Chains A and B, each alone.
Chain A
Amino acid sequence: MAEPLTRTPKGWDRLSPPSKVAITLHVNDVPRTLTIASWTTLLDALRNDLGLTGTKKGCDHGQCGACTVLVDGRRVNSCLVLAIMMNDARVTTVEGLAKDGALHPVQQAFIDHDAFQCGYCTPGQIMSAVALISEGRARNADEIRELMSGNICRCGAYPRIVAAIQQAMAAMESKP
């Protein structure tokens, strides 16, 4: 019988129980302590350990942007972040945008412009757009498109996404 396919390095048991570590994440302004394995990504920690399933797993390889969250105010692909490296970090997910029952201007703009079809990429698009506006680097549609290129929408809602971001940008500028 053929050897079972394995790429396990010699002397290393991939089935050995992982040593788990306790970390604290400040998720949407709430401190959360969780116990994770070294390989747990921030995305999996949010979804599986904290039940925050608004953040989506698309490609799991940093190619689609569906998992975009803010870490200490900066947008990142949470699928390529090890949770163990994020102890004490401030994490903002789509669940943390609405305040006192009112949608964030970017969320409202996505509804106003019907800026999605299936909606799977939408939380990542919204988080990316929130960061794009706070970065202040995009002033026109060309620059919005370029700086949103890390968020793929396979339904092709791009024109409405750009329009929604322009509306939110104007709304947030008038009310700082």
Chain B
Amino acid sequence: MINFRYTRATDVGDAVRQIAAEPKAKFIAGGTNILDLMKYEVEQPTQLIDISHLPLRIIEEVPSGGLRIGALVPNSDLAYHPLIEARYPILSSAILAGASQQLRNMASTGGNLMQRTRCFYFYDTVTPCNKREPGSGCSAIEGINRINAILGTSEACIATHPSDMCVALAALEATVHVIGPSGERAIPFADFHRLPGGTPEIDTNLAPDEIIMAVELPPQGFASHYSYLKIRDRLSYAFALVSAAAALELDGGRIAEARLALGGVAHKPWRRVEAEAALRGEVPDRAAFAKAADILLRGSCGFAHNGFKIGLAHRVIERTLMQAAHGTPQIQAIKKIR
């Protein structure tokens, strides 16, 4: 690890002032991703600004009927919160599908959004990587790309976003509340993470001098018909090859509302409103689910080692929607797929 200066932010305003004053500074909360990357010297901040003690640990109901989750709420506290379990079980399920209990105890809500890709070449500092070193090239495109993206890729980068939690937050249409030197703003979840394009070094639309304060969930939690299904190379404690969050509202045997997002396939949680629109008004059967999968996966493109993800994603979408429709969500502790 390279030497750095450690400072503590006294409040949110101070955190923003400190990060604005030092462009090479980074925030640290749970530390599970930044310290890992600093040990590999992938991240080389000159200063770590400790925000872990700021008063952003509250989960509270908001007048709109939704829920506001403080940026520093640990992943485990969020997954097991009674209001999340009761009203947004898809979020609880997705969180518990990721990492380990130790890491979930440490990792924060905001940090989960900000975690960086697990692409092997991003971590391997002796190989070119446009995300780590802009302009150096992408080693994954011609390399070992089993874990890489099949949607929304660019010639510069085929990395995926590793979060499970964010896939559920995308499906729930959460809002990210942030603050910077020019004040507060709200970012719709779909606009928070970005596709790599020609600037894969930029993961999100959060400005470098902004900080996440909270994630807000809208009232609709799809607690009756949801599922989060994650397929990976071992049964627990591994990143997704493909995962899906499916949420349905059924009315009179037909789909009134649908949400569908994928993990492990793109630089951001992958969602298309057209796929969800195609489900509305349909009978929840395999034909309707296959059609939605076709739309969601349109334009997918595999590389030498990850072409299997396209067919896998198709089946995962169908199965997750089926689990949601039947009210039999995947249980993360039981590895049999229902």
List residues of chain A with CB under 8 Å of any chain B CB: 7-9, 12-14, 16, 18-19, 21, 38-39, 41, 60-62, 65, 68, 74-77, 80-82, 84-85, 128, 131-132, 135, 137, 142-143, 145-147, 149-151
Q: Do the beta carbons of A82 and B3 come within 8 Å of each other?
A: no
Q: Judging by beta carbons under 8 Å apart, are A128 and B102 in contact?
A: yes
Whether A82 pairs with B101 at a CB distance below 8 angstroms is no
Residues of chain B in range 1-55 having any CB-CB distance to chain A below 8 Å: 1-6, 24, 28, 31-32, 35-36, 38-39, 41, 44, 46, 48, 50, 52
Residue of A nearest to B41 (CB): A7
B207 at the interface (CB under 8 A from A): no
- Measured in the bound complex, the distance between the Cα atoms of B334 and A145 in whole Å is 10
C-alpha gap A137/B44 in the complex (Å): 38
B35 near A80 (CB under 8 angstroms)? Answer: yes
Closest to B334 in A: A142
Chain A residue contacts of B103, Cβ below 8 A: 62, 77, 80, 150
Contact A135 B101 (CB under 8 A): yes
Whole-angstrom CA separation of A85 from B102 in the bound complex: 17
In the docked arrangement, what's the CA distance between A135 and B101, Å?
Answer: 10
Assess whether A39 is in contact with B100, with CB atoms less than 8 Å apart: no
Nearest chain B CB to A49's CB is how many angstroms away?
Answer: 16
- The smallest beta-carbon distance between A103 and chain B, in angstroms, is 23
Complex Cα distance, B3 from A38, in Å, reads: 8
Interface pair A12/B35, CB less than 8 Å apart: no
Is B80 an interface residue when CB atoms closer than 8 A count as contact? yes
Q: Which residues of B contact A146 (CB under 8 A)?
A: 236, 332-333
The reply to whether B6 and A68 form a contact with Cβ atoms under 8 Å apart is no
Task: Known A-B contacts: A80-B36, A147-B101. Give 4 more (CB < 8 A).
Answer: A7-B44, A9-B2, A16-B3, A85-B50
* B308 interface residue per 8 A CB criterion: no
Knowing A38-B48, A142-B334, say if A150 contacts B102 (CB, 8 Å): yes
* Chain B residues with CB under 8 A of A7: 2, 41, 44, 125
Given that A60-B39, A74-B105, A128-B102 are contacting pairs, would A39 and B46 also be in contact in the complex, using a CB cutoff of 8 Å?
no
Chain B residues with Cβ below 8 Å from A61 are 36, 39
CA distance A125 to B310 in the complex (A): 37
The docked-state distance in angstroms from the alpha carbon of A84 to that of B82 is 33
The minimal Cβ–Cβ distance linking B57 to chain A, given in whole angstroms, is 13
Select from chain B the residue with minimum beta-carbon distance to A127.
Answer: B102
A residues in contact with B76, CB < 8 Å: 74
